[in-house]
Amino acid sequence: MLKKLFSSLTILCIGTSVSAADDYSEIVVKARKRAENTLQVPISITPFQKETLQNPIVNDISDIAKEAPNVDFITTAPFAGSSNAASVYIRGIGQNDFLLTTDPAIGIYLDGVYIARSIGGVLKAGDLESVEILNGPQGTLFGKNSIGGAIQAFSRKPSAIPGGELVFTTGSYHRHDFGASIEGSLRDNVQGRLSFLSENRDGYVDRLYDDVWLGDIDRLTGKGVLTWQVNETTDIFATVDRTHQRQEAIAQHLRTFVVTPTNTTFNAEAPVAWDASWLTNDPFTTYQTGPSQDDVDVTGFSLTATHRTTWGEITSISGYRTLDATYARDPDGSPVQYGHSINTDDQDQFSQELRFQGNALEDRLDWLVGLYYFEESGHNRTDGFLFSDTSVGLDFIVNNDIDTKSYAVFTQNIYQLSEKANVTFGIRATFEEKTFSVDTRLTNGFIITQGTDSDDWTNLSPMASVDYTFDNGVFTYLTASRGFKSGGYNGRQVFPGPVDKFEPEFATTIEAGLKTKLLDDTLSLEASVFTTDYEDMQFTVLVAGVIPQIANAAEARINGAELSIDYKSDSPFSLSAGIGYLNAKYTRLDADTFLTKDLSLVRTPKWNAHIKPSYLWFSDSGDWELSALLRYKSKVYNDALNTDDIAQGGFTTLDITGTWYSIEEDWTLQAFVTNATDKRYYISGSSDKAQFGASEVNYARPREYGFRVKYQF
């Protein structure tokens, strides 16, 4: 299939007249740690520029995933109570757990610094210069664990010209956001930028008994950026960012309830029965009364130093980040204290990357060699309450501590075979060690389990690619890459026994693609087909019917394709569109998973697509622009058992933005609508109908409208 699809795409584009490759100058990316035109990089990549990131329908980097083929990015996860829990899948590979004992499969990087935790990983978009989403294993050049892909975010650098902007946004659900920034030269060779954003919005799910609104937004973010041209050969780039969030829990809704022997036993003891009477017909109401909290504090520092020499360039990236978070949820959707949980995280990390790169062999070889170090210390406490109102209730505390150290040496080199052909080869050697301790006890002090364990893993992750540019400018490539994600420990060990751990997982991808310009350079086209062998998959299973844990229990093969187009011309009309296709099947399953090979992989839609038309016209009063984003996603299962109650069927959403730009380019007025058709759909869910009889879902926000005013000075 791979060969057939690639051949047909090549024939299609080779037969079309395009301009020379030298004319490709629109979008520059840093996917390979060097500035390159996106149409000449042998990677499936979706870049986003500042104009897209500042659109009012884009609040954070999860929103841009709507415009990236085969990318699924939500801001929460099953069993989480936080709206700042990055849960990302690319091409069917991701991680649906939020605990700090589990590493993400998709690496998120801010100014080159790896963000190790899911909680706190949903970055604000407004103060970013660009974002790049890279599909497929990125094991050679990127951080610690990027087995399924990587997301690179780059902060806006300050201008030497003094200036700034004020932004005010208002809208439905009593939305009131205010942002401000200022930038300019501090000295002849030093520039600075400060930015601030306050967000306030009401929740959209009403707790009927206490009138608490779940899913609200109450967040402050700030960033400081400094650039320093030390001399003609050395530059310094430093950032500090801060997030302070105080909110109710994410929007939760009891979706289904059935009678089982387990909940019948508990109900016999409970003063108030937990049953189907607590279901509501309105997805935006709930009878829950349990804990509700979504507090996150994140602080990050980064320092990038670049020194140019006669033989090349040296780059040092130092990063330090801290996380403090408390998030709580009441999944039973009732006033009965059936299943409440409170999580508290305390984590800090330090990373250091050192790269050397240059040219050799009469500039035919672009070489890069690097060293990487990462260390992390984290503590998670989970307070769990199961039918606490009864004599058979189980209230417990799980304390997890984890320390991680990771070392890597890597190289990636591009050799020019001819004026039209290049070969790229690279490898990363990684050594990682983790130490984990668990202390689980009942609230009365009775110890259930205690233990400490440590483990280490060594891995070699290679990649190789060859690319060729035809005479008419069609750029084609064939790439093979392998990704590695280290093992870890189960953070929900509530039963007696030794420390429970899981092993690493691996992904090997072969990808063929082409990139070109068509129609007199007005249409950019990128297409790729791929096949991935996904081995020793780490995914969440329910133990004893209610406790989610991570296990290596499967292998899968994922075949797919992606197509993106971008049309821009001198006419007022422009258009971008994309489509992704995934055919994912289990090829091996352990017997104790209780799964079958005909089940679908979690969060892996067969089809996903978007189209984004825009029309710009001019008048004496200023410039006007109308744009829309139409997105489609086919059916998605939110758990490994493919429970239909929490599966989201295929759906379409529509976002619309209207903009006025003043003649002097200092004022911008925008009106916008998100989820314009008011589609009710799930972003996440969890279920255990077999034993405890309930399913819970998290609905996306309903239709919202707003107005934004921006003044630049």
Residue with tokens 């890069």: 368
**pLDDT at 382 (0 to 100):** 96
Alpha-carbon distance of 495 to 144, in angstroms, equals 31
Q: Is the pLDDT of residue 300 over 60?
A: yes
**pLDDT at 20 (0 to 100):** 30
Give the number of other Cβ atoms within 10 Å of residue 67's Cβ. 21
**pLDDT at 4 (0 to 100):** 42
Give the number of other Cβ atoms within 10 Å of residue 660's Cβ. 15
Q: Is the pLDDT of residue 689 over 70?
A: yes
**pLDDT at 664 (0 to 100):** 93
Kindly list the strands in the beta sheet with 212-214, ordered across the sheet, starting from the edge strand earlier in the chain.
212-214, 205-207, 285-286
What's the rounded mean pLDDT across residues 412-429? Answer: 97
Alpha-carbon distance of 652 to 633, in angstroms, equals 7
**pLDDT at 542 (0 to 100):** 61
Q: Is the pLDDT of residue 7 over 50?
A: no
The closest of 503, 504, 455 to 482, measured between CA atoms, is 504
**pLDDT at 5 (0 to 100):** 39
Q: What rounded mean pLDDT belongs to the chain?
A: 92
**pLDDT at 3 (0 to 100):** 43
Q: Is the pLDDT of residue 515 over 80?
A: yes
The closest of 149, 150, 151 to 93, measured between CA atoms, is 149
Assign 545 a pLDDT band (cuts: 50, 70, 90): low
**pLDDT at 79 (0 to 100):** 81
Does residue 394 or residue 153 have the better pLDDT?
153
Q: Could you report the per-residue pLDDT of 212-242, keeping only the tens digit for each? A: 999 999 999 999 999 999 999 999 999 999 9
Assign 64 a pLDDT band (cuts: 50, 70, 90): very high
If phi over 0 gives left and psi between -120 and 50 gives alpha, with beta otherwise, what is residue 497?
Answer: left
**pLDDT at 690 (0 to 100):** 78
Q: Could you report the per-residue pLDDT of 96-148, keeping only the tens digit for each? A: 889 989 899 999 999 999 999 999 999 999 899 999 999 999 989 987 878 99
**pLDDT at 536 (0 to 100):** 94
Q: Could you report the per-residue pLDDT of 438-491, keeping only the tens digit for each? A: 999 999 899 999 999 999 999 999 999 999 999 999 999 999 999 999 999 999
Whether the CB-CB separation of 690 and 545 falls below 8 Å is answered with yes
Does residue 26 or residue 357 have the better pLDDT?
357
Question: Taking the C-alpha atoms of 566, 569, 571 and 572 in order, what is their torsion angle to the nearest 10 degrees?
Answer: 40
Give the number of other Cβ atoms within 10 Å of residue 291's Cβ. 18
**pLDDT at 270 (0 to 100):** 82
What's the rounded mean pLDDT across residues 327-349? Answer: 93
The closest of 555, 556, 577 to 566, measured between CA atoms, is 577
Q: What percent of the chain has pLDDT over 70?
A: 95
Q: Where are the beta strands (DSSP E) in 330-420?
A: 339-360, 365-386, 394-416
Q: Is the pLDDT of residue 26 over 80?
A: no
Q: Could you report the per-residue pLDDT of 366-379, keeping only the tens digit for each? A: 999 999 999 999 99
Helix, strand or coil, per DSSP, at residue 336: coil
Burial of 31 (0-12, 13-18, 19+ CB in 10 A): buried
Q: Is the pLDDT of residue 207 over 60?
A: yes
Assign 503 a pLDDT band (cuts: 50, 70, 90): very high
Residue with tokens 């064939």: 478
Alpha-carbon distance of 378 to 95, in angstroms, equals 19
Alpha-carbon distance of 231 to 238, in angstroms, equals 16
